[in-house]
Amino acid sequence: MKILAIGLGSAGCRLVDTLLLHDKRSGTARCVDGVAVDRDEQTLTALRHVPDRLKIFFSPLDPDKKTDLSRSITSDEIVAKLLTLDRGELDAVVIVCGLGGGMVDLVPALAREIRESMQERVFALATLPRTVEGDAVLSKAASDLEMLSGVVDGTILFDNDLLYERVQVYQAGKGRFNKPRTSRRNGPGREQPQEDPWLPVNQHVSRRFGLLLRAGEITEEGQQESAEVVLDAGEILRTISGMGLITIGYAAEKIPDEPGGILRFLRKGGDTAVTRQRKAERVVELARKALNEEMSVACDLAAAQKALVLILGPSHELSMKGFMAVRKWIDQGISGPEMRSGDYPVENTRYIGIIIVLSGLHPVPRVHELEKVRNNLRKNTPPSDMSARDFPIEPSYLEQSKPQEMKRITLGVVSERVDPSVTRRSYEQPAAGDQDIEADLPPQPAFQEETKKNH
């Protein structure tokens, strides 16, 4: 799946820069083209992987007032730059931004210009601010999220609170997080400049999103081992288009070294029943970890309307039995009827991983927390200090608005009906002699059955 990523603001620009880095290192056909837009010249200069010609700098008219984007940044100028690119077979445009900041206010006008000039669907990849950034930022993030829901085809959420904590734990275990580094060239004991603390977080986001994009793509040499269940760009788009909030879970595990090495896979007869069972259990455990610990924003499985599952790794390590069990488990857990899945053989790796995409999320606990912060801020803020941007228009006002006002407010909204031909797929039966591992899956709450009936 090929995308054009547009980074807005410092957070969006740095994330697009990291996406391009991972895309270059992947060894597959290029999946990401990137453009960076900001009013901070230093941020754009620091980007290493976005070409200079695709760095768009807008000098603020008044450096002390950074809220009036309409006067200093014109979205048609950005789109004009996009149209000069050789986009090739582009599948989607993804606007990358940090919620709670100033540049995200540009999204409605930019999305409208893109829809008028280009054919591709427009999504947002948005990061939720950390709690320590303060109530004002959190409140604006809640308003930004509501604004995005009306102008893009779907919003992929990443919770910075969760990601930052996970990266800290991981890096602390490796002994590398926020630790001064030395360089032989500078001499022993001389410290290099402090590494950007958000770089590991951006790498975390780019890894899981980039792997999803590369599913089904071929290598630069034009070769790829055939997948058992092909998952292409169309399947991904049908999972996330018109589905509101989206979360991506990813878990990976290093394949343990086993006696016999590669010769074991060349022997006639292949794996034993015990080995097949162990591989199946590994896939199930990775799925459990992805859902319970590694989602980009935490949510309950029953809160999703659609789901997509992708397993990746060396083909001889991918257990289709475990894959089918996980697919059935998730299919029974979501509230909606659509479940898609596939495998992505990657031979030059010693890891096996799983990606789980859930879309149409409601409710999302973290989003509810942001809304509570905004409501409390409203109660404690004098009316004279309230701004329309921080406290968005209520639905009751929309119902009473004049036609011309409604056109202005809802401009850029795209609705898409669900394809009724897409239904749940049938599942393969476990191979004879294999132990059934579905009994090891977490039990589904009783209320999920009621939810299914209501749908």
User: Is 447 a domain residue?
Assistant: yes
User: Are 53 and 116 part of one and the same domain?
Assistant: yes
User: Are 86 and 197 part of one and the same domain?
Assistant: yes
User: Is 99 a domain residue?
Assistant: yes
Poorest-pLDDT segment among 115-119, 360-364, 379-383, 404-408:
404-408
Question: In whole angstroms, what is the distance from residue 284 CA to residue 249 CA?
Answer: 14
User: Is 400 a domain residue?
Assistant: no
* Residue at 348: amino acid letter: N
CATH value at residue 261: 3.30.1330.20
| 121 strand-pairing partners | 92
User: Are 28 and 137 part of one and the same domain?
Assistant: yes
pTM: 0.78
User: Are 180 and 130 part of one and the same domain?
Assistant: yes
User: Are 168 and 272 part of one and the same domain?
Assistant: no
Secondary structure E strands in 245-373? 245-254, 306-313, 338-345, 351-359
User: Are 270 and 207 part of one and the same domain?
Assistant: no
CA distances from 449 to 192, 412, 445 (A): 57, 36, 8
Q: How many residues does the chain have?
A: 455
User: Are 183 and 296 part of one and the same domain?
Assistant: no
Contact in structure between 391 and 397 (CB atoms under 8 Å): no
For the residues 181-209, what does the mean pLDDT come to?
65
Q: Is residue 396 pLDDT above 70, yes or no?
A: no
Question: In whole angstroms, what is the distance from residue 142 CA to residue 138 CA?
Answer: 6
User: Are 151 and 259 part of one and the same domain?
Assistant: no
User: Is 101 a domain residue?
Assistant: yes
For the residues 141-156, what does the mean pLDDT come to?
95
277: tokens are 């069972």
Q: Domain range spanning residue 38? A: 3-214
User: Is 78 a domain residue?
Assistant: yes
User: Is 377 a domain residue?
Assistant: no
For the stretch 206-253, pLDDT in tens is 999 999 998 866 555 544 567 788 888 999 999 999 999 999 999 999
CATH value at residue 197: 3.40.50.1440
Domains identified in the chain, total number: 2
